[in-house]
Structure 1
Amino acid sequence: MNPTGLLEVTAVRRPTPRTVRVTFTGAGLRELEPWPDQQLKLLFPPPGRPVRLPSSAADDVMRWYQAYLAIPEDERPVMRSYTVRGRDGATIDVDFVLHSDVASDGPATSWARRAAPGDVLGRYGPDPAYRRPLSTADTVLLAGDETALPAIATLLSEVDNAVAFVEVADAAEEQPLPVHWLHRDGAPHGTKLLEAVRDAPLGPGAAAWLAGEAGMVRALRRHLVGERGLDKGVIEFTGYWRRALTQDDAPTSDDLADAREKLGG
């Protein structure tokens, strides 16, 4: 399947007050092979402009990215990573988490608030080159905040020996999934999740999948390695977002350390 192209919105729903689920159709989606935690990059056009795709060979991600950077800044779409929440034939669903404060919206969240059928975005992926094998551990811990829900939902459909903890703003954000729901209800982000993971029984053959706010993910990893004795190699982790920073801001020293560890450095 060609990993680059256009997506058109066909439906917009609100499964929870803070979640916008957008259904897209586009060329090649019917041939898309599904797998858990399937990620793609969405390209959001500048206000008032059509989306402009990089002009490069779609099967070479590095040349594609260089061509993306070569687009003039005033025409270059904003690129953000998302996980496919579900698919049905020639359509895919993508969930967007909304902030309670509109003023803190980034370009993707702002777009999602006003998304309507007929809107068009660009995409790169899902690319099979980034497909990761499922863990064969005796127990797989899945832990994250609401931004990790799409990936956790797809992992639960394939992993029978998983135990999942998800922290959300409040009870209204729960979805029909077999997870342990944790409500912040005004508590600092990540504290309820860390408490629950600390109390979770994990056997010696456990592995973990962690995703969500980057600082929260680091705290979970430190606990699992330093206090629970898990080997770093059995922990898959991704910081989806950073508190008070966007994906366009420069990486912090912690971000760079995370990247080195993911690359095995």
Structure 2
Amino acid sequence: MTLPVTFVEVVEVRRITPRTARITFAAEELPDAVGTAPDQQLKLCFPRPGQREPVLPARQDDPTGWYRAYLAIPEERRPLLRGFTLRGRRPGTRLVEIDFVLHGDTGPAAAWALRAAPGDRLGMVGPSALYAPPVPFAEAAAAADWVLLAGDETALPALATLVGALPAGVRAVVYVEVADEAERQPLEGPEGLDVHWLHRDGAAPGAVLTGAVRSAELPPGRPFAWLAGEAGAVRVLRRHLVEERGVPKASVDFTGYWRHRLTQDDAPTAEDLADAQERLAGY
């Protein structure tokens, strides 16, 4: 399966909360079936300073070949890569929506999004079924007695698509940590969706989320848990569910999207590598 590698151009920029921009891109090329599943991951390619648009890796028939092609680009011209979740694709078009958390001017993605305007161009690798969740979400949710979804604002794009994909009749409990009340977003899901908005209000990232879940009176029965957000908080929650709540490891899908005080360009820690190995091993 070949991953889409294409230029995308900004057509609309909207502030859906004070710290979140939803940017609509028009993709030059995008297969009809791409981007219709929940929790679809992709990579955005940002231009180097002085470039109007990024240099894209050559397309490859090998699904992982794009990264070798990316590394083959001379470093001074090689685009800066950042991972995102597709918030949505408008049916019948090549328009895709991606949410950017505006956490300052220090990283390439947030700095670019703060100034994004119609006509700006990036590169996009994916989305693809290759980046679909390791566990078919709807099947896992239907097989469980209830579902737990927990994350921070960086997890909201994926979490919102997963909530929308919940089978009818599934009981779901959602915990979302955001900076403050102004950062709440609408979540559309099945009737009875139990959503807990948690406000960080200056606390360390993940502290309010982990504290709320650890002290919560969760529903009885066999859960399926989906955890995403700051890597350290995700790690704490996973250990709590497995070691203190008795949830089987195979019933916890977890992803660390970002690391407090570290960027995606910093080397992985020993705990990062252990988490990646556990995911690759299929628990």
Name the TM-score class by shorter chain: over 0.9
What secondary structure does 1:72 align onto?
A: coil
Give the TM-score normalised by structure 2: 0.88
Aligned residue runs from structure 1 range 112-261, under 5 A: 112-132=113-133, 133-134=136-137, 135=140, 136=142, 137-160=144-167, 161=170, 162-177=172-187, 179-198=195-214, 199-261=216-278
Aligned residue runs from structure 1 range 41-56, under 5 A: 41-49=43-51, 50-56=53-59
Following superposition, the deviation at residue 129 of structure 1 comes to 1.9
Following superposition, the deviation at residue 174 of structure 1 comes to 0.5
What secondary structure does 2:165 align onto?
A: coil
Structure 2: tracts of 5 or more residues without a match:
189-194
Task: Label 1:229 to 1:2 Cα distance change in 2 as closer, same or farther (>3 A).
Answer: closer
CA contact (8 A) 1:165 1:182 kept: yes
Provide Cα deviations, 1:109-131, integer angstroms capped at 9, x if missing partner. 11111111001111110111222
- Give structure 1 regions of 4+ aligned residues with deviation exceeding 2 angstroms: 27-30
CA–CA distance in structure 1, aligned partners of residues 27 and 84 of structure 2: 16
Following superposition, the deviation at residue 213 of structure 1 comes to 0.4
What secondary structure does 1:221 align onto?
A: helix
CA contact (8 A) 1:29 1:91 kept: no
Amino acid in structure 2 at the alignment position of 1:116: A
Provide Cα deviations, 1:52-87, integer angstroms capped at 9, x if missing partner. 111241x42322111100101110001111001122
CA–CA distance in structure 2, aligned partners of residues 62 and 74 of structure 1: 22
**Number of positions where the alignment pairs a residue of Structure 1 with one of Structure 2:** 261
CA contact (8 A) 2:35 2:128 kept: no
* Structure 2 counterpart of 1:98, from 98, 102, 107: 102
CA contact (8 A) 1:30 1:91 kept: no
CA–CA distance in structure 1, aligned partners of residues 217 and 4 of structure 2: 39
CA–CA distance in structure 2, aligned partners of residues 144 and 243 of structure 1: 14
What secondary structure does 1:80 align onto?
A: strand
Q: Is 1:28 matched up with 2:29?
A: yes
Root-mean-square deviation (CA, aligned residues, Å) is 1.6
CA contact (8 A) 1:2 1:28 kept: no
Structure 1: tracts of 5 or more residues without a match:
none
What secondary structure does 2:119 align onto?
A: coil
Q: Is 1:7 matched up with 2:8?
A: yes
Identity among equivalent positions (%) equals 58
| Alignment partner, residue 191 of structure 2 | none
CA–CA distance in structure 2, aligned partners of residues 186 and 2 of structure 1: 40
CA–CA distance in structure 1, aligned partners of residues 245 and 199 of structure 2: 24
